[in-house]
Amino acid sequence: MNRRYVHGYDERESIRLQDQASSVLELLHSDTRYPAGSSVLEAGCGTGAQTVTLARNNPDARFTSVDLSKISLEEAKKRVAAAGLSNVQFRQEDIFALPFAPASFDHVFICFLLEHLARPLDALRALQKVLKPGGTITVFEGDHGSTYFHPDNELAHRAVRCLVELQKLAGGNANIGRELYPLLREAGYGEVHVSPRMVYVDASKPKLVDSFTRKTFAAMIDGVREPAVQAGMMSAQDFDAGIRALHRAAEDDGVFCYTFFKAVALRETKS
Amino acid sequence: MNRRYVHGYDERESIRLQDQASSVLELLHSDTRYPAGSSVLEAGCGTGAQTVTLARNNPDARFTSVDLSKISLEEAKKRVAAAGLSNVQFRQEDIFALPFAPASFDHVFICFLLEHLARPLDALRALQKVLKPGGTITVFEGDHGSTYFHPDNELAHRAVRCLVELQKLAGGNANIGRELYPLLREAGYGEVHVSPRMVYVDASKPKLVDSFTRKTFAAMIDGVREPAVQAGMMSAQDFDAGIRALHRAAEDDGVFCYTFFKAVALRETKS
């Protein structure tokens, strides 16, 4: 499996993930609550963009947050400490070789993880093993193919597709949000429920225009400018025009649309 | 203005609109309620697919439902009569030359109308004139550019774009849903609030798979097969493969996504 992380691990990316978590926080976490005393595995916690909110919203649950990247984990630890939270234990682990006993956790939570994996089904199966029968898995993923905007612009769509292609070359799938239902079913989970969370942004929501359209989405696409141009996917000129078109959609008469998908499923007791 | 109606007026289309209204009925009408005694203009009622629900959900409001097509109005009258409703008056009128006095109506309702007009802004302005200051306009439109599905398929996307192109040639805009905010603002309405209504369909919702993915969306695209092929937009073979791919998304491991946009805005009292 190719483990290159398409967004990179630099500071700008860290800010972007933070912005993303802030602006879609409500969308994701508003209905993610765990009972007191639950043990929850957060697999692929990255720099802890979701961990802080998870731990704060569920003060009586215990989180075990794992990631492959030591650098990301250091950042995550700092964030959680800065938030004054003490219900998170961090561990550097590979989700394909988790050291936990079968049925160790009451619940599993993953966010923006499957999109980066060449074998998302195997990951879901590996996570199912450490989940107690009757426990839930919560999955949150984006889908770059859900992106559209006004004014429409073909170069902007092509720039978005550069990220999709680069992520594919790195072994991932940036359009995986729409696939959560069949993936979870095929991995053997039961009672799969998928709930799309569309981010609709117009000028009546100036904070979201800034935090999501500009600083999350356009910034994320702009972040692959160099590899996209170097791979000959687009000329620098066309790519920059595409980015300008995304910013154009953030103006007063512009509109931007993107959809995240949240899925919740059960490890069935009979399995 | 080109007044060709891209879907045609045949029986199959009538069934499609009915299916569409049934499957997205809840999405559209669940929060569309008018106070007792209100006078509501439904502009472009077509064959009455929405009229029956509007009139039933608002038994103490009085509807004036107008359309340019006498044939559609006859069908609409039959439907409303069959439903035992008596709070709808039908009139054959041109929305660009409405015979009503200024500020005649408490509210205006339009659904799947703007997408067919070459001058949607002028239509919104014309409707504003007959709306009382402080009254609302409710607008419901689809956006074919919001369509995506799993498994993904380029020929299916091309077939969808054939309808978008044909509608453009007929003077319309099949991707108008995302533009409701700037259109209503530019037309002079106040307090514009746009609420996307995404239709997400997977195998856990078999009725919606059948009524929406197959009988509404795939059927609508298939409905432009002949003009699309005759215009040289796609070969018949490619178009049919695209339609099969849309039906493939209706299978047990398939997913289909489409978004309608609902907007509510005010005629401001100062205007």
Q: Residue B117: which of B174, B161, B67 has the closest Cα? A: B174
The minimal CB distance from B196 to the residues A186, A194, A200 is found for A200
What percent of chain B stands above pLDDT 90? 85
Most B CBs within 10 Å, among A148, A161, A213, to test the B interface = A148
Contacts of A145 in chain B (CB under 8 A): 148, 152
- The CA distance from B83 to the nearest CA of chain A, in Å, is 34
Q: Contact A6/A172 with Cβ under 8 angstroms?
A: yes
Write the DSSP assignment of B246-261 as a string of letters. HHHTTSTT-EEEEEEE
Nearest CA in chain A to B176: A150
Residues with Cβ within 8 Å of B185's Cβ and at least 6 positions away in sequence, in order, are: A203, A253, B192
| Residues B104-120: tens digit of each pLDDT | 999 999 999 999 999 99
ipTM: 0.91
- The CA distance from B225 to the nearest CA of chain A, in Å, is 25
Q: Residue A110: which of A62, A51, A157, A178 has the closest Cα? A: A51
Residues with Cβ within 8 Å of B201's Cβ and at least 6 positions away in sequence, in order, are: B208, B209, B212, B213, B250, B255, B256, B257
Contacts of B255 in chain A (CB under 8 A): 178-179, 181-182, 194
What's the start-to-end Cα distance of chain A, in Å?
27
pLDDT at A23: 61
- The CA distance from B220 to the nearest CA of chain A, in Å, is 21
Q: Contact A87/A63 with Cβ under 8 angstroms?
A: yes
pLDDT at A224: 97
**Does the structure show a pLDDT above 60 at A17?**
no
Residues with Cβ within 8 Å of B147's Cβ and at least 6 positions away in sequence, in order, are: B157, B160, B217, B257, B258
| Residues A151-175: tens digit of each pLDDT | 999 999 999 999 999 999 999 999 9
Q: CA geometry: angle at A62 spanning A55 and A99, to 5°? A: 120
pLDDT at B2: 39
**Does the structure show a pLDDT above 90 at B96?**
yes
- What's the average model confidence in pLDDT over A94-100? 97
pLDDT at A19: 47
**Does the structure show a pLDDT above 50 at A21?**
no
Q: Residue A247: which of A153, A131, A133, A143 has the closest Cα? A: A153
Most B CBs within 10 Å, among A27, A157, A181, A266, to test the B interface = A181
Q: Contact A111/A28 with Cβ under 8 angstroms?
A: yes
How far does CA B39 lie from the centroid of its chain? 21
pLDDT at A24: 75
- Cα–Cα distance measured from residue A41 to residue A63, given in angstroms and rounded to the nearest whole number: 6
Contacts of B185 in chain A (CB under 8 A): 203, 253
Q: Contact B255/A182 with Cβ under 8 angstroms?
A: yes
- What's the average model confidence in pLDDT over B52-79? 97
pLDDT at B15: 52
Most A CBs within 10 Å, among B255, B261, B262, B264, to test the A interface = B255
- What's the average model confidence in pLDDT over B93-108? 97
**Does the structure show a pLDDT above 70 at A63?**
yes
- Cα–Cα distance measured from residue A143 to residue B66, given in angstroms and rounded to the nearest whole number: 40
- The CA distance from A135 to the nearest CA of chain B, in Å, is 20
| Residues A190-202: tens digit of each pLDDT | 999 998 888 999 9
| Residues B119-136: tens digit of each pLDDT | 999 999 999 999 999 999
pLDDT at B7: 57
Q: Which two tokens stand for residue A119?
A: 């074998």
Sign of the dihedral defined by the CA atoms of residues B144, A26, A39, A42, in that order: positive
Q: Which amino acid is at A62?
A: R
What percent of chain A stands above pLDDT 90? 85
Write down the number of H helices and E strands in chain A. Answer: 10, 8
How far does CA B215 lie from the centroid of its chain? 16
Residue B52: pLDDT band with limits 50, 70, 90 = very high
pLDDT at B30: 81
- Cα–Cα distance measured from residue B39 to residue B60, given in angstroms and rounded to the nearest whole number: 10
Residue B21: pLDDT band with limits 50, 70, 90 = very low
| Residues A121-138: tens digit of each pLDDT | 999 999 999 999 999 999
pLDDT at B69: 96
Residues with Cβ within 8 Å of A169's Cβ and at least 6 positions away in sequence, in order, are: A231
What percent of chain B stands above pLDDT 70? 91
pTM: 0.91
The minimal CB distance from A255 to the residues B149, B179, B257 is found for B179
- The CA distance from B92 to the nearest CA of chain A, in Å, is 34
- What's the average model confidence in pLDDT over B221-233? 98
Contacts of A175 in chain B (CB under 8 A): 148, 152
Q: CA geometry: angle at B120 spanning B117 and B124, to 5°? A: 130
Contacts of B196 in chain A (CB under 8 A): 198, 200, 257
